[in-house]
């Protein structure tokens, strides 16, 4: 028999007072993939993770993780998942090794097995040299690695990562992405929430865009970009006062989308559309500071879908 998806959520609703955090959210995560849930603060990302990890109960709707209902079989769900929140849960007064051994013992491992598992994870997350230093002396990237290492003590099938690289410098962020990919390549399913468009673009096999508590789009990063028109021609008039005139001139080619003084329009023919745009602008006497072809980003996707930047 075919195994069920690792995550299946249907019509989830959750309110906190007058705030409707989830408004009929649907979500499916297949086994062995990295799915990025993208959205602004308050979109419902963390609330969805809290329900799927059994920390919150939905007001209505249903959800299954690894084939188990989160309401009727929470213990079975918890035995198969790990959750790394936005803030480190490790004890900063202990060393990384002590944290790992402690969590392994709490999960029922014998002392020798707990120490062996700690050594394995310290090596996997490049923390061996700093293993016996207190976590409070670690950099932000090291603390994040220690936190995820602790989450993996029980060898979960599904790892929830809630904004895993918030506050990290670019180098630490790249390192974290490499480790998350390695977990996926080892057979783990990863569901992450993020506000970083680049993170979702570079890391996720599939992206789910959430706004106001519901899914408004999903697909691979490339598929979502194609939805907003594939290759774009971007035009920045030399004078800000000529933006509207440029839009009228370019409307003979396609309806431009205007943002911050830059006009974007679909250019499916690539260089041919670019050449035509130059001809139209020249005929209208509009001076151009910059004109170029580029692929859309997830920022473009989010802006087109929601009407505001992510």
Do 136 and 260 lie in a common domain?
no
Distance CA 153, CA 124 (A): 12
Do 207 and 263 lie in a common domain?
no
Do 210 and 237 lie in a common domain?
no
The predicted-structure confidence for 157-211, as pLDDT tens digits, reads as follows 999 998 888 778 888 888 889 999 999 999 999 999 887 778 888 899 999 999 8
Total number of domains in the chain: 2
Contacts of residue 141, defined as CB under 8 A and 6 or more positions apart, other chains included, come to 168, 169, 171, 172, 175, 176
pTM over 0.75: yes
Is residue 118 in a domain?
yes
Do 71 and 99 lie in a common domain?
yes
Q: What was the pLDDT predicted at 162?
A: 87
Two tokens, residue 263? 């006009």
Do 182 and 90 lie in a common domain?
yes
Full pLDDT tens readout for the chain, 310 residues: 678 999 999 999 999 999 999 999 999 999 999 999 988 788 899 999 999 999 999 999 999 999 999 999 999 999 999 998 776 678 999 999 999 999 999 999 999 999 999 999 999 999 999 999 999 999 988 998 999 999 999 999 999 998 888 778 888 888 889 999 999 999 999 999 887 778 888 899 999 999 899 999 999 988 888 776 678 899 999 998 999 999 999 999 998 989 889 998 888 888 999 999 999 999 999 999 999 998 877 777 777 777 666 5
Do 217 and 267 lie in a common domain?
no
Do 138 and 238 lie in a common domain?
no
Do 148 and 238 lie in a common domain?
no
Q: What was the pLDDT predicted at 308?
A: 63
Is residue 305 in a domain?
no
Is residue 303 in a domain?
no
Residue entry with tokens 């920045």:
236
Do 30 and 159 lie in a common domain?
yes
Show the domain range for 264: 231-294
Is residue 306 in a domain?
no
Do 235 and 207 lie in a common domain?
no
Q: What is the CATH number of the domain that holds 285?
A: 3.30.70
DSSP 129: T
CB 29 within 8 A of CB 7: yes
Do 197 and 249 lie in a common domain?
no
């Amino acid at each position: 028999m075919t195994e069920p998806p690792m995550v299946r959520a249907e019509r989830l609703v959750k309110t906190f007072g007058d705030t409707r955090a989830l408004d009929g959210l649907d979500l499916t995560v297949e086994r062995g993939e990295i799915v990025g849930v993208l959205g602004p603060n308050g979109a419902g990302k963390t609330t969805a993770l809290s329900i799927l990890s059994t920390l919150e109960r939905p007001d209505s709707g249903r959800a299954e993780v690894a084939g188990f209902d989160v309401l009727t079989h929470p213990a079975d769900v918890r035995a198969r998942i790990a959750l790394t929140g936005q803030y480190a849960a490790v004890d900063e007064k202990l060393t990384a090794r002590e944290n790992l051994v402690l969590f392994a013992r709490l999960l029922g491992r014998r002392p020798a097995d707990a120490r062996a598992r700690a050594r394995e994870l310290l090596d996997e997350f490049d923390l061996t040299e700093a293993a016996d230093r207190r976590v409070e002396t670690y950099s932000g990237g090291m603390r994040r690695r220690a936190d995820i290492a602790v989450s993996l003590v029980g060898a979960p099938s599904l790892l929830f990562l809630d904004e895993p690289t918030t506050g990290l410098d670019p180098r630490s962020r790249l390192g974290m992405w490499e480790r998350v990919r390695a977990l996926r390549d080892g057979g783990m399913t990863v569901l992450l929430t993020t506000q970083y468009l680049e993170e979702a673009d570079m890391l996720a096999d599939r992206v789910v865009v959430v706004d106001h508590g519901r899914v408004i789009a999903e697909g691979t990063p490339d598929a979502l970009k194609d939805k907003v028109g594939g290759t774009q021609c971007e035009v920045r008039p030399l004078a800000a006062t000529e933006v509207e005139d440029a839009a009228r001139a370019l409307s003979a080619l396609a309806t431009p989308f205007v943002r911050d003084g830059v006009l974007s329009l679909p250019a499916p023919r690539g260089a041919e559309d670019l050449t035509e745009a130059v001809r139209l602008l020249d005929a209208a006497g509009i001076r151009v500071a910059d004109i170029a072809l580029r692929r859309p980003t997830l920022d473009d996707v989010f802006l087109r879908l929601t009407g505001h930047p992510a």
